[in-house]
Chain A
Amino acid sequence: MNQQVSPLKKTLLYAFLFIGVIISVFPFYWMFVGATNPSGEIFKVPPNFLPGDYGWENFKNLNENVGIIRVMGNSLFITLTFTAISAIICTAAGYAFAKFKFKGRNAIFFMLLVAIMIPYHVTLIPLFEIFGNVGWLNTFQAVILPQVAYPFAIFLMRQNMQSIPDSLLEAARVDGAGEFHIFFRIVLPVMRPALAAVAIFLFMFQWNNFIWPLVVLQSQEMYTLPVALSSLVGMSRIDYGQVMMGTTLSTLPIMIFFLLLQKQFISGILGGSVKE
C-alpha cells in the first residue's frame, strides 16, 4: 500500500506532532531550568532558557527548609512497601478470581468492580477517624494500608491470569505440587511481565498520591514529596528555585524509570481496557 503523498501533507503532519511534543515536554525542561537557577532568574524578562549552576544551592536550601532528603526517603519507603504488599495480595486475589471456581466469587468480584467507581474521597473521613482511634495518625502505616487491596490492580491481574493455561496448573497438581508452591514457582514466574506492569501502576499511584497523605500526615518530618511540595507553595514567601528543585526531585526518578520501562508503564495503565 505505497501511495503517493504530497510532501506538504507530510510536513503538516510532522509539524502538528512536533508542536504537540514541545507542549508536552517543554514544562519539564522549564522545571530543570528553574531548579538549576536562583529564584530571581526564573522570572526574568526576557526569560533565561538555559540551565544554570545554582542547583546545588537550591538543593541545600530546600533541605534546610523542608528536609528534602528525609522527605524523599519517606516517599521511597512508603511507595516501595506499599507496592510490595499490594502487588502480592492483588496478584493472589487476581489468580483466585481467574483460575478457581468458588462460592461467592462473582459477588465479591462485582463488589470490587463497583469499588473502582466509588470516589476514594468518600472514605477519607472514616479512615481519618479509624486511624485516629488506634493512634496511627501521622504514621507511615496509615499512609500505606488503606489502598493495598487496590481493586483496579486485582482486576488487571485477573485479566492477565486468564491467559495461563489450565493444563499447566493441572500438570503441576498431578506431579504433587502444593497450591502455594504452584503459585510462587509457576504462576508468578509466568506472570512476570504483567506483574511488572501492575507494580509500576501501584508505584506511580503511591508516589504521586496526595490527598490522603495530606490528610493523615501532620508533621514535616513525616511528609511525602507531594505533601512537602504543597507546603512549600503555601508559604508566604515562595523561593521558586527551591520549589522547582523539589518538583524535579519528585519527577526525575519516575521519569528515568519511565524512559527505561515505557512498555511496561503503558501496558500497566492500559490494562484490559482495549479488549472487548
Chain B
Amino acid sequence: MSQPNAEQMANANHEKNKQPSKKPGPFSQKPKSRKKWITPKTVPYLFILPAVTFFLIFTVYPVISSLLLSFQTRAGSGYEFVGLDNYIRLFRDTLFYKALGNTFLILLIQVPIQLFLAVVIAVALNSQLVKMKSFFRVAFFMPAITALVASSIIFMIILDENYGLANYVLSLFGIEAIAWLSDPFWAKVALMAAITWRWTGYNMVIFLAGLQNIPGSLYEAAEMDGAGKVRQFFYITVPQLKPIFLFTFVLSTIGTLQLFDEPYILTQGGPNNATLTITLYLYQNGFRYFDFGYASAIAYVLVLIIGVLSWAQMKWAGEDK
C-alpha cells in the first residue's frame, strides 16, 4: 500500500521541479530516476521504517495499553476505570507475595551458583593444559540451544518420584527416594537444578570470551612476582572480568524474574505454590481467569522491579570507575 503513495509523492515532486525555481532541491539533480523520494535525507528513515512500525504496533502500544489496563477492571462486556484497586488488591494478595518470594529466592540462590560454576568452567577451559577446547565448549553449550519446554520435560522424567533416573542413582548409594516434584522444598531444588543445567554453559561461553580479552602479560607479571594460580584468579581474573560479571548478572536477573516455561512444565507452580513465579501467576490470572486488569497490574510490578534492579546494578557498576 505504501508503494503507490510513494510513487505519487515522487511524481508530485517531479512536477514541482519541472517549474523553474531559484533553488534546485535534491530532487532536481536526477530528473530521470523513478526513485527520487530516496534522498540522502530520507534514506535512513526508509531503512528504519519497517522495524519502527512493527515496534510501535506490537511493543510500544501494548506496553502503554497494559499500563492503562492495570487501572481498569472488567465490567460487563467492557472495562471500568478503578484507579489503584488492582494494585491495592495485589499488595494484599498472599499468593502474589509467595510468587514474589519464590522468584527472589531463586534469584538469590540459583543465579550466584550458576555464575560461579560458569566462571570456574570457563577458567578451567581457558587453561593451557586443556586440549580439545572446542569439543568441551560445544558440549557445555549444548543445553542452551534446547527449548526450555523440551529440557523441562526431560527433567520431569528424570526426576520422577518413583521410577526416575535421579532416584535410582541415589538408591545405588543407599539414599532414599526424594519426592523431587511433590515436596515443596525439593520442587524448588529441582527447578533450580533445571535452570542451572540450561544456562551454565551459556554464561560460560560469555566468560570464556571475556577471559580471552585479558592480556596474557598480566599473568606473566604475576608469575614473576611469585603469585600462585589462586591468587592470580582473585587478583587478576575476577577484577578483569568485572564488566562480564555485570553483564551476565543483569541478564540472569532479568531472565529469572521472567521465569515461566520451566515451572509451567515441571511443576505447574506446585506443590502448594512452592514454585509459583511472578510470570506464572501473571499467566494464570490473565489466561486462566481472564482477569486482564489484575494481570496487567502484576506485569507492571514486574516492570518496576526489573527497572529498579537494573538501575541499581548499573549504578553499582558505574560508581567504581
When the two chains form their complex, are residues A262 and B147 in contact, meaning their CB atoms are under 8 A apart? no
When the two chains form their complex, are residues B157 and A42 in contact, meaning their CB atoms are under 8 A apart? yes
When the two chains form their complex, are residues B206 and A247 in contact, meaning their CB atoms are under 8 A apart? no
When the two chains form their complex, are residues B125 and A122 in contact, meaning their CB atoms are under 8 A apart? no
When the two chains form their complex, are residues B52 and A274 in contact, meaning their CB atoms are under 8 A apart? no
Interface string of B130-165 (1 = CB under 8 A from A): 100010111111111111111101111110101111
CB of B58 closer than 8 Å to a CB of A: yes
Q: Identify the interface centre among B129, B130, B147, B244: most chain A CB within 10 Å of its CB.
A: B147
When the two chains form their complex, are residues B146 and A208 in contact, meaning their CB atoms are under 8 A apart? yes
Return chain A residues, CB-CB under 8 Å to B243. Answer: 276
**A25–B144 CA distance with the chains assembled, in angstroms:** 11
CB of A163 closer than 8 Å to a CB of B: no
Binds B, one of A53-61, A62-70, A88-96, A189-197: A88-96
**A102–B206 CA distance with the chains assembled, in angstroms:** 33
Q: Identify the interface centre among A14, A121, A148, A247: most chain B CB within 10 Å of its CB.
A: A121
The closest CB in chain A to the CB of B151 belongs to: A27
Of the candidates B47, B66, B141, the one whose C-beta lies within 8 Å of that of A93 is: B47
**A226–B148 CA distance with the chains assembled, in angstroms:** 9
B228 to chain A, nearest CB (A): 12
CB of A151 closer than 8 Å to a CB of B: yes
When the two chains form their complex, are residues A270 and B206 in contact, meaning their CB atoms are under 8 A apart? yes
**A92–B167 CA distance with the chains assembled, in angstroms:** 52
Return chain B residues, CB-CB under 8 Å to A89. Answer: 50-51, 54
The closest CB in chain A to the CB of B144 belongs to: A269
CB of B95 closer than 8 Å to a CB of A: no
Return chain B residues, CB-CB under 8 Å to A120. Answer: 258
Return chain A residues, CB-CB under 8 Å to B195. Answer: none
Return chain A residues, CB-CB under 8 Å to B220. Answer: 1
When the two chains form their complex, are residues B197 and A17 in contact, meaning their CB atoms are under 8 A apart? no
A135 to chain B, nearest CB (A): 16
CB of A21 closer than 8 Å to a CB of B: yes
Return chain B residues, CB-CB under 8 Å to A269. Answer: 144, 202, 205
When the two chains form their complex, are residues B153 and A247 in contact, meaning their CB atoms are under 8 A apart? yes
When the two chains form their complex, are residues A117 and B306 in contact, meaning their CB atoms are under 8 A apart? yes
CB of B287 closer than 8 Å to a CB of A: yes
**A14–B131 CA distance with the chains assembled, in angstroms:** 9
CB of B222 closer than 8 Å to a CB of A: no
When the two chains form their complex, are residues A20 and B302 in contact, meaning their CB atoms are under 8 A apart? no
When the two chains form their complex, are residues A262 and B47 in contact, meaning their CB atoms are under 8 A apart? no
Return chain A residues, CB-CB under 8 Å to B127. Answer: 13
The closest CB in chain B to the CB of A265 belongs to: B145
The closest CB in chain B to the CB of A9 belongs to: B129
CB of B303 closer than 8 Å to a CB of A: yes
Q: What is the interface of chain A, defined by CB distance below 8 A to chain B? A: 1, 5, 9-10, 13-14, 16-17, 20-21, 23-25, 27-28, 30-31, 34, 42-47, 89-90, 92-93, 95-97, 100-102, 105, 108, 111-112, 115, 117-130, 145-149, 151, 154, 178-180, 183, 204, 207-208, 210-211, 215, 225-226, 229-230, 233, 240, 243-244, 247, 250-251, 254-255, 258-259, 262, 265-266, 269-270, 273-274, 276
**7 shortest interchain CB distances as A-B pairs:** A43-B163, A126-B62, A100-B44, A123-B62, A96-B47, A93-B51, A208-B147
